[in-house]
Amino acid sequence: MAGVTLTINGIETTVPNGTTILQAAEKLGFFIPTLCYDPELTRPGYCRICVVEVENVNNLPVSCATAVKDGMVVHTDSPAVIEARKTILELLLANHPEDCLTCGRTGDCRLQDYAYMYGVRRTGFTGEKRAYAIENENPFIVRDMNKCILCGKCIRMCAEIQGDNVIDFAYQGFHTKVATANDTPLSDSNCVFCGNCVSVCPVGALQEKGLRAAARTWEVEKVKTICPYCGTGCSLELNVKNNRVVGVTSSTEGGNGRALCVKGRFGYGFIHHPDRLKKPLVKKDGQFVETTWEEAIGLVAEKMGAIKREHGGDALAVLGSARCTTEDNYMLQKLTRVAFGTNNIDHCARL
């Protein structure tokens, strides 16, 4: 692919044809703020916070959706750019609730970070405020459309990654909002509650109910792991506070991107559930009692061996689990076919 040579903040660089100004600047280590941009999604250039100055160009183009050209000279932090970004932030804050002290996204809100970064303490624009009811009826996600900045990332995530197209922009002008068909609650729509929209929301419009109620952003330690629910191998981050898992957030390091299903993102309650089995149980005198793994495995081997001797190997059947690794399931089928002498083995994730 042909290279394109341009200059960014006085540094010359060559990048592949089709590279955006934002990508070229990030390659050189220059920071450009973004709100609607996401590397996994299409780039509509809605929010315009990523504008830059290009010499011999009259306007300030958005860096996330503008491809580089040979000889282009870019300034990412010129006075005109800084003034434009401040104005955009003031416009966004004009209709934004001033409840940062109690918002669950404090410390994890790009709008808050950028307002601090550019010294925008208050807005110069006054007018009507939105007053939408907070949608809190489902068990997973809190939707506060008063905080929505209309970046469209949740819409694109739902359509382009999840493929459900549950939400879109509705109404017009000042009353534009992100809504489901007929503006019904999520629980009355086709939403599968994967929570992927929450993972890309840059502000407090979408919040995971359990996590935000349990801890602030800076109180949790993130532990990277693999989702245990199926064999896809999605990466995720366990949010741990006081040695307890209080939530799950997306990780960008897995082959599946940040996408998770409803079980992977919200099904962590079993970890600390009081009914969770922590030791093997065997039935003695009609009651299950705790025992050692040695005794439990020995008892299973004895019982299954007796069935095989009396009725043959085909009297036994084994069901594998998607929670096990590929290697574990391989050993399980080996045990079934070689030791038990039967091909009666299936898998819970087989279609």
Tens of pLDDT, residues 27-61: 999 999 999 999 999 998 989 999 999 999 999 99
Going by C-alpha positions, the residue among 18, 23, 21 that lies closest to residue 1 is 18
Residues 6+ apart with CB under 8 A from 66: 20, 21, 54
Number of structural domains, the chain?
Answer: 3
Residues 6+ apart with CB under 8 A from 276: 270
Q: How many CA atoms lie within 13 A of 171 on its CB side?
A: 11
Q: How far apart are CA 167 and CA 179, in angstroms?
A: 5
In a domain, 147, yes or no: no
Q: How far apart are CA 226 and CA 326, in angstroms?
A: 13
- Residues facing residue 299 across a β-bridge: none
Same domain, 69 and 19: yes
Q: How far apart are CA 167 and CA 159, in angstroms?
A: 8
In a domain, 293, yes or no: yes
Q: What is the CATH number of the domain that holds 58?
A: 3.10.20.740
Same domain, 254 and 311: no
Tens of pLDDT, residues 165-185: 999 999 999 999 999 999 999
186 and 135 Cβ atoms separated by less than 8 Å: yes
Q: How confident is the model at residue 22 (pLDDT cuts 50, 70, 90)?
A: very high
Same domain, 9 and 36: yes
C-beta pairs of 272-276 under 8 Å, 24+ apart in sequence: 272/244, 272/245
Domain finish residue from 36, 62, 77: 77
What per-residue confidence (pLDDT) applies to 348?
A: 77
In a domain, 27, yes or no: yes
What per-residue confidence (pLDDT) applies to 23?
A: 97
In a domain, 53, yes or no: yes
Exposed, middle or buried by CB within 10 Å (0-12, 13-18, 19+), for 66?
Answer: buried
In a domain, 197, yes or no: no
Range of the domain at 321: 281-347
Average pLDDT of the chain is 93
The distance between the two most distant Cα atoms of the chain, rounded to a whole number of Å, is 89
Lookup: tokens for 203: 């502000």
In a domain, 203, yes or no: no
What per-residue confidence (pLDDT) applies to 24?
A: 97
Residue 351 has pLDDT above 60, yes or no: no
In a domain, 325, yes or no: yes
Tens of pLDDT, residues 154-169: 999 999 999 999 999 9
Least confident of 193-197, 251-255, 306-310, 339-343: 251-255
Q: Which letter does DSSP use for residue 159 in this model?
A: I
What per-residue confidence (pLDDT) applies to 1?
A: 56
Least confident of 90-99, 226-235, 278-287: 226-235
C-alpha dihedral, 205 to 208 to 211 to 212, nearest 10°: 20
Q: What is the CATH number of the domain that holds 228?
A: 2.20.25.90
Residue 119 has pLDDT above 80, yes or no: yes
In a domain, 265, yes or no: yes
Tens of pLDDT, residues 218-271: 999 999 998 888 777 889 999 999 999 999 999 887 777 889 999 999 999 999
Same domain, 336 and 288: yes
